[in-house]
Amino acid sequence: MQNQIHYLDYATFEIRSDEAKPHMNIEAIPPLFLFVQMEVSRQTDSFNEMKPLRKKSVEFLIRSSHQLRASPIVKYSALSLFADRFLPSLTTLIKTRNNIGSWLLRSIEESNLQLFSLISIWISSKIHDSRALSVKCLKSLGDKFIKDQHFTIRDFVEAVLNFEIGISNVAFIFLEEFFIQFKGVAKVGGLVSFEACMDVMDLLYEKEETSLLFSAPRSLAASILVASYVVTVPKQQWEFPVLPWVKFVTSYKEEDIGEKVKDILTHVFEPHS
């Protein structure tokens, strides 16, 4: 028996054999199919709209951390909460068009995302600081820099409740550990700027594509250290076998770290708007 070719009949959304295949009639396409096309287009528009808002809100979080004189671990834990966990969850909600309970999430405005970035700093401070930042301190900063919306203390509390609180391994912790080890074994370690390492981490959070690197924090931290070595140590003094050393302390393949370093340097040296 000859195998029949089957296809999806878009007029009825049923699987039919090739023998029963009717001529395609655009008028027969049901409203559901047209709705699917419109929905895909709407989700794409929403996702594209989130990209510039994401960049602005991440930059706002970094500036606010500096304004509040937050420690590096507080800053990068806040970035992990906000950019690695909160924003991807929000993007998923937009894509699936789920009903969102909080009014703070029903309209994805820049001011609302700025509020959640401040809450990320507050949660991180509660975790890492012996004397955590107060909500009043954050509200004062919000009143000063969030121009198109006035948030109350109650809004801040409600925003906290929208977080699934908890922080996984943060790349900064691994970076700090590798940096200390590197300075202990290599003379050129003193030439590597830790501030440059942190600047690289900030830049990687700018784009969603590069922030995905933070899903593997240990290998990313090792790669950032190597990238900072390349950038800050004069080429004439590249005597230390940095990639073999990274392989020794992390067990990662040299070529894998090398590829990640190339990606990082490409992003660091590309024009930024």
CATH number of 52-161: 1.10.472.10
Count of Cβ atoms closer than 10 Å to residue 145 Cβ: 14
Q: What average pLDDT does range 226-250 have in this prediction?
A: 90
Looking from the CA of 134 toward its CB, the CA atoms found within 13 Å total: 3
200 pLDDT band, cuts 50/70/90, is: very high
Q: Does 164 have pLDDT greater than 70?
A: no
**Sign of the CA dihedral with 118 first, then 159, 129, and 166 last:** negative
Quick check: 164 and 85 in contact, CB under 8 A?
yes
Q: Does 268 have pLDDT greater than 80?
A: yes
Quick check: 229 and 257 in contact, CB under 8 A?
no
Q: How far apart are CA 235 and CA 238, in angstroms?
A: 5
Q: What average pLDDT does range 173-194 have in this prediction?
A: 91
Quick check: 71 and 129 in contact, CB under 8 A?
yes
Neighbouring residues of 1: CB distance < 8 A, sequence distance ≥ 6: none
Q: What is the pLDDT of residue 273?
A: 58
Of residues 159, 121, 161, the one with CA closest to residue 138: 121
Render the burial of 224-243: b for 16+ CB within 10 Å, e for the rest. bbbbbbbbebeeeeeebebb
Q: What is the pLDDT of residue 100?
A: 53
DSSP codes joined into one string, 129-193 = -SSPPPHHHHHHHHHHH--S----HHHHHHHHHTS-------HHHHHHHHHHHHHHH-GGGGGS-
Structure letter (DSSP) for residue 100: -
Q: How far apart are CA 270 and CA 79, in angstroms?
A: 22
Residues 72-75: contacts with CB under 8 Å, at least 24 apart? 72/172, 72/176, 72/198, 73/124, 73/128, 73/170, 73/172, 73/173, 74/121, 74/124, 74/125, 74/128, 74/129, 75/121, 75/124
Rg, the chain, Cα only: 24
pLDDT, averaged across the chain: 74
Q: Domain ranges in the chain? A: 52-161, 171-269
Query: H/E element holding 124?
Result: helix 110-128
Choice between 117 and 259, residue whose per-residue pLDDT is larger: 259
Q: Does 186 have pLDDT greater than 60?
A: yes
Render the burial of 146-183: b for 16+ CB within 10 Å, e for the rest. beeeebeeebbebbbebbeeebeebbbbbbbebbeebe
Q: What is the pLDDT of residue 1?
A: 47
